[in-house]
Amino acid sequence: MSIEDEISREIGELKEKIGELDRRIEEANKKINKSIAERDKTHTRMREIKEKVRALKEEKATLVEESRGLRRDVRELRQKLLNYIIEKRQLRGELKSLRLSMDVNRIKKRLDEIDLYLASHRVSREEERRLFEEASKLETMLVDYEKALKIHLSLNELSPQMEEVRKELEEKRKRLDEVSTRLNQISTEMEMLNNVYDNLKVEADRHHSSYLEAREERDRLEAERILAASKIYEFYRLLRGKREELMKRRISEVKAKRKKEAIAKLERGEKLEFEEMKILLEDETLWQTSGGTGQP
């Protein structure tokens, strides 16, 4: 096998190798694009989850602040209700301590009778003393009735106030339960989302590693392809040099043959053609031998 054939064989093998490298480079590029797409899709989902977690954190902070205020309000309302209960018990205790054995109208009527009797009759000192004592007791009873009336009024005022506080307390407790339930739900949701985020991060890292591996493989294949292409270029240059050398040798052989024929014609005294003259003129040694004058 000639050198040219060997070079042609090497070039053919390199071209086949480049074709295989192009196929593998294309596969690597597909893997790169797929890994990037999957990684970016995963990053998008991670950003969505991060945004949800951020919104939940903001809601949680608002609810925690509301919960603090509600707990404070519940404590204050509970204390207020307790004060009302204590006050009501005290008033009822005061009311119970008052001994009211007669109707207030009977007391007033009896006092009027005593006043009228004392004014219209002459009474002894003993009877006057007795009537004054009775009137004094009746007036004391009347004062107790006034106290009892005030206590009743206070109790009547306390009842709606207590009911209003009790109603507000119930509303605050209900809202506090709702807030506490929502806070528990948020904690559960955030824990779930954080777990999903961690899993997605692992997935994104895996896609990124796959992308880096594929890119490294593609770069290696492209470097190998460049090397193969440069070898082909060198082989073509070498082959071209060989062909040029062969062409020059063949041209030289043809010229030598034509020159030999031209010299033979010259020696026979035959007229030379232009190309034959040109070939002879190119040979300086021939001219130096013949003295370099005129036609040889």
| Pick among 3.40.50.970, 3.40.50.720, 1.10.10.200, 1.10.287.1490: CATH of 3-98+163-243 | 1.10.287.1490
Give one DSSP letter per residue of 196-215, joined into a string. HHHHHHHHHHHHHHHHHHHH
pLDDT range class, residue 204, cuts 50, 70, 90: very high
Q: How many residues appear in the chain? A: 296
Q: Is the pLDDT of residue 202 over 70?
A: yes
CA distance 37 to 169: 56
What is the H or E stretch that residue 132 is in?
Answer: helix 125-267
pLDDT range class, residue 295, cuts 50, 70, 90: very low
Q: Is the pLDDT of residue 181 over 90?
A: yes
* Token pair 């593609």 in the structure block, residue: 218
Best mean pLDDT range from 26-35, 130-139, 281-290: 26-35
What is residue 100's predicted lDDT score, i.e. its pLDDT?
57
Quick: pLDDT tens for 84-109: 788 777 776 766 666 655 566 676 77
What is residue 94's predicted lDDT score, i.e. its pLDDT?
67
Of residues 248 and 279, the one with the higher pLDDT is 248
Of residues 133 and 72, the one with the higher pLDDT is 72
Q: Is the pLDDT of residue 278 over 80?
A: no
Where do the domains of the chain lie?
Answer: 3-98+163-243, 253-290
What is residue 35's predicted lDDT score, i.e. its pLDDT?
95
Q: Is the pLDDT of residue 155 over 70?
A: yes
Quick: pLDDT tens for 105-151: 676 776 777 777 777 777 778 877 887 787 777 677 767 777 777 77
The pTM assigned to this predicted structure is 0.59
pLDDT range class, residue 293, cuts 50, 70, 90: very low
Q: What is the CA radius of gyration of the chain?
A: 63
Percent helix, strand, coil in the chain (nearest 5)? 90, 0, 10
